[in-house]
Amino acid sequence: MVYRIKSLFAIGLAIICFAAHAEKVETEWIEGTHYFKITPPVHASRSTSEVKIVEFFWYGCGHCFDFEPALGAWKKNINPQIQFDQIPAVFDRKWAPHARAFYTAKKTRNPR
């Protein structure tokens, strides 16, 4: 019983702290304080009519695996102005062999 009371007290205290912090959050952005203007403006090297979509994936990701059939169907009907690229994500050394396999297969498929 004492453990439950302590847990409820800790949860209540955490909620109060989060609510107090939320009130202090500034909503107005000020140039020079929160951001700076880039001068001269950076222009993209691509034309504005082209669109590039990049998918980051991992072969061990269940979500990526489940999304692949829908993505494959979408890519069959893709607009020719859209460039679609896939990049294997490497967040750990253990993921590197998957990335190497991807680039090896890509190079074998499209030798230049």
How much is the pTM?
Answer: 0.53
> DSSP labels for 12-77?
HHHHHHHHHHHHH------BTTTB---SSPP--SS-TT-EEEEEEE-TT-HHHHHHHHHHHHHHHT
Q: pLDDT digits over 37-72, tens only?
A: 888 888 766 666 678 899 999 999 999 999 999 999
CB atoms inside a 10 Å sphere around CB 86: 14
> From residue 87, how far is each of 22, 35, 41, 104 by CA, in Å?
37, 30, 28, 13
Per-residue pLDDT for 17 more than 90? no
79-94 confidence digits (pLDDT tens):
888 889 999 999 989 9
DSSP reduced 3-state for 3: helix
The predicted pLDDT at position 100 comes to 94
